[in-house]
Amino acid sequence: MEIELKPASKYERRIFYKEEWNVKDVPDFIIDSITSREFGFDHYGQGPNDRYKTFPDALRLKRFIKVKQPFAAYCSVAFYEKPKQRKGWQQSELVFDVDAKDIPIRTCDCKEGEVCDKCLNQAKDIVLMIKDVLNDDFGLNNINMVYSGRGYHVRVLDEEVMDASSDLRGQIVQYVIGAKEPDLTNNLGFNNLQHFIIPYGYPYNFTRWAKYTILHLTKDSELDNVNKKLLRDVLKERHFLEEDSWGLFRANIGPIRYKRLISAVARVNMGITDTKVSIDLKRILRLPSTLHSKVSMKSTLIKNIETFDPFDDAVPQFVYDRK
């Protein structure tokens, strides 16, 4: 059956929250801190204007959602002493928001603002790379992967990053997604920032992402300061990157044009994730287990990202019942 990503009707929302939604599907990392989080709701499809909601326990949250059957439900990444007033900030999750419709170089034929199985798979590949960097380079392990409905949220709750400032979060994001052009004259990368150390070997991580981006370019791709001739040459010579032969690739492109390309790739990579979400200490995110009503998909905590398929694991029953 082909899944049509169209908005859910009010009747379909009612059926979902009455028959399918279960508060037990809300992740433990949210329930365990429920009294410290702000919740927000969109009841009419116009944005989350019902904010500053708090709940003392999962039962009260369940009752509210069962009655209201919201168009969308959200909760804060921040923990507060007084979440109802958003006062007394304590700490926040570090978040990477990868939306399939906003991937800078997509390999599908979707129109602007649309998503399909191909670009959703591309988004999944990206979050797998992000998870690997967080694990391998930073040693972070409390990483929760959530399918948001049109992409993925990577939600990190390791204590090492929970109290990080917005500036430090921005630096971490730049490292993780290869969005800062490395200094090609040395291999030091970032140094110690506040109390958190961003690993050495930054050029390696950058080339990992640069390779990903360059291998996804097409003849119609547009990059700042990269003309059509350079793009054609990149496409012609990029087979060297499949064998990690960066030296041959760089030599054939030429050092000046290579530097221009690398600068353009760094700017492209900055759009891989929504950095504004990552640095916002008071951001609210879609509540896992609830309905993304614009596309009739469930926001879902992912137990195994390797095998997760949104078109099998995040489709509400009412979608299958549509005629």
Residues labelled catalytic: 97, 99, 274
Check if the beta carbon of residue 88 is closer than 8 Å to that of residue 53.
no
Check if the beta carbon of residue 292 is closer than 8 Å to that of residue 73.
no
- Phi, then psi, of 303 in degrees rounded to 5: -85, -35
Tell me what percent of the chain is helix, strand and coil, each rounded to the nearest 5: 40, 15, 40
User: If DSSP states are collapsed to H, E and C, what string results for 2-39?
Assistant: CCCCCCCCHHHHHHHHHHHCCHHHCCHHHHCCHHHCCE
Check if the beta carbon of residue 59 is closer than 8 Å to that of residue 24.
no
* Two structure tokens written together for 71: 């168009």
The length of the chain is 323
First CA to last CA across the chain, in angstroms? 11
Nearest to 249 by CA among 209, 241, 257: 241
- Which helix (H) or strand (E) is 210 found in, with range? helix 202-215
Contacts of 310-318 with CB under 8 Å at 24 or more apart are 310/120, 310/147, 311/3, 311/117, 313/147, 314/147, 314/149, 315/3, 316/8, 316/12, 316/16, 316/20, 316/291, 317/16, 317/19, 317/20, 318/8, 318/12, 318/15, 318/16, 318/20
Q: Name the amino acid, one letter, at 203.
A: P
C-alpha span between 266 and 175 (Å, rounded): 11
